Amino acid sequence: MQEMQALKVHSYLSQSEIQKQLEGVEYILMASPSMMVDELPIHFTIILNTADVIPEEVRPLLLEKFCRELGITATSHVLSNRERIAFAMTTQETPMPKHIVDDAEANSIPWTLLHIIDFLGDSEGFKEAKDGLSGWSYSYN
């Protein structure tokens, strides 16, 4: 596996730019190599375009739906919750979603509250992530 360089963040979208960026977006799928070498090989984050509280009993059904549709064959370490998401401008065409966990960072850049499903998984359909690359894709309604 070749060494990849991290994307450089040029700026972050403002609150109004975030709202405009999310117009018509159903969800955003991110896939990257897992940092936990003894676990499943891919770190998935599905960002739902909603800040609504999703009932506890619905959360596993959402995960099952995405796994079935995306060909994800195994999962572990699942987090399903509303979280702070910022959007970074990089050299890529679309803004890169960024899960903000640090309070100091949350105080310094614009973000919005969205529901995420974050987990480790495996899938034959995400060979690039297994090869060390990260990426994201916007899905529109």
Q: What is the pLDDT of residue 67?
A: 97
State the Cα–Cα distance between residues 26 and 87, nearest whole angstrom: 16
Structure tokens at 33: 């190599």
Q: What is the pLDDT of residue 107?
A: 96
pLDDT tens digits along 87-113:
999 999 999 999 999 999 999 999 999
Alpha-carbon distances of 99 from 1, 30, 46, 71, rounded to whole Å: 26, 11, 11, 24
47, β-bridge pairs = 28, 116
pLDDT tens digits along 20-76:
999 999 999 999 999 997 899 999 999 999 999 999 999 999 999 999 999 999 999
Span between the terminal Cα atoms of the chain, in Å: 36
**Residue 113: which of 79, 138, 80, 85 has the closest Cα?**
85
pTM exceeds 0.75, yes or no: yes
Residue-by-residue DSSP string for the chain? ----PPPPP-EE--HHHHHHHHTTEEEEEEEEE-S-TTS-SEEEEEEES--SPPPTTTHHHHHHHHHHHHTEEEEEEEEEEEEEEEEEE-SSSSPEEEEE--HHHHTTS--EEEEEEEEEEEETT-HHHHTT--EEEEEE-
